[in-house]
Amino acid sequence: MRMKLNYRIVVFLLAIIFGLFFSIPSLLQTENGKKVTLGLDLQGGLHMLLGVKTEEATLSRIKSITSSIKHFSQRKDILVDNLIFDESGVSFNLLDSDDTKHIKEFLDKIEGAAIVINGENISLSLSQEEIEKTKKQAIDQAIETIRNRLDQFGLAEPVVARQGEEKILVQLAGIKTQEEEQRARELISRAAKLELMAVDEDRIARVHGMSHADAASYGDVILEDAKNSQIKYLVREIPIIDGGMLTNASVGFDQNNRPIINFSLNAEGAEIFGDFTGRSVGKRLAIVLDGKVYSAPNINERIGGGSGQISGDYTVMEAKDLAIALRSGALLAPIYLMEKRSVGPSLGAESIQASMIALIGGFILVIFFMVTYYRAAGVIANIALIANLFIILAVMSLFGATLTLPGMAGIVLTVGMAVDANVIISERIRELIHQGVSIHKAIEDGYSNAMSAILDANITTLIAAVVLYVYGTGAIKGFAITISIGILASMLTAILGTHGIYQMLETKIQKSKNNRFWFGIKGK
Distance between CA 60 and CA 145 in Å, rounded? 16
Binding segment (CB under 8 A) for other proteins, from list 18-26, 253-261, 278-286, 467-475: 467-475
Quote helix, strand, coil % in the chain, to nearest 5: 55, 20, 25
Pairwise CA distance, residues 281 & 43, whole Å:
57
Choice from 384, 417, 481, 492 touching other proteins (CB under 8 A) = 417
274 interacts with other proteins by CB under 8 A: no
Compute the least distance from the CB of residue 433 to other proteins, in Å: 11
C-alpha distances (whole Å) from 74 to each of 80, 92, 278 are 9, 14, 13
Contact stretch for other proteins (CB under 8 A) within 20-28, 130-138, 231-239, 422-430: 422-430
Beta pairing, strands 194-198 & 220-225:
unpaired
Q: Interface residues for other proteins in 503-522 (CB under 8 A)? A: 520-522
Q: Which of residues 36 and 49 has its CB atom nearest to other proteins in the complex?
A: 49
Q: Of 137, 122, 44, which Cα lies nearest the Cα of 89?
A: 122
Q: For the chain, how many helices (H) and strands (E)?
A: 16, 19
Out of 1, 156, 213, 470, name the contact with other proteins by CB under 8 A.
470
Contact 496, 10 (CB under 8 A): no
For residue 298, give the DSSP letter.
Answer: B
* Euclidean distance between CA atoms 192 and 332, whole angstroms: 10
Determine if 361 is a binding residue for other proteins (CB under 8 A).
yes
* Coil, strand or helix at 176: coil
Does 415 interact with other proteins (rule: CB under 8 A)?
yes
Of residues 48 and 131, the one with the C-beta less far from other proteins: 48
Residue 291 binds other proteins (CB under 8 A): no
Asked if 308 interacts with other proteins (CB under 8 A), we say no
d(CA 74, CA 259): 36
Among 55, 96, 111, 350, binds other proteins (CB under 8 A): 350
In 199-344, alpha helices (H): 212-217, 267-279, 316-327
Residue 289 contacts other proteins per CB under 8 A: no
- The span from the CA of 385 to the CA of 428, in Å, is 19
Asked if residue 244 binds other proteins (CB under 8 A), the reply is: no
Stretch 309-338 residues interacting with other proteins (CB under 8 A):
335-338
| Residues numbered 121-140 forming contacts with other proteins, rule: CB under 8 A | none
Q: Binding other proteins by CB under 8 A: which of 472, 504, 507, 508?
A: 472
Give yes or no for residue 379 binding other proteins (CB under 8 A). no
Question: Cα(384)–Cα(405) distance, rounded to whole angstroms?
Answer: 24
At closest approach, how far in Å is the CB of 477 from other proteins? Answer: 10
Determine, following the binding rule CB under 8 A, whether residue 389 of this chain makes contact with other proteins. Answer: no
* 10, 79, 114, 463: residue in contact with other proteins (rule CB under 8 A): 463
337 forms bridges with which residues in the sheet? 50
Quick check: 386 binds other proteins (CB under 8 A)? no
Among 4, 162, 227, 434, binds other proteins (CB under 8 A): 434
45 vs 306 by CB, closer to other proteins: 45
> Applying CB under 8 A, does 493 fall inside the site for other proteins?
no
The least distance separating other proteins from the CB of residue 55, rounded to whole angstroms, comes to 15
C-alpha 347: how far from chain center: 22
Answer for which of 123, 247, 309, 342 binds other proteins (CB under 8 A) is: 342
Q: Are 312 and 294 in contact (CB under 8 A)?
A: yes
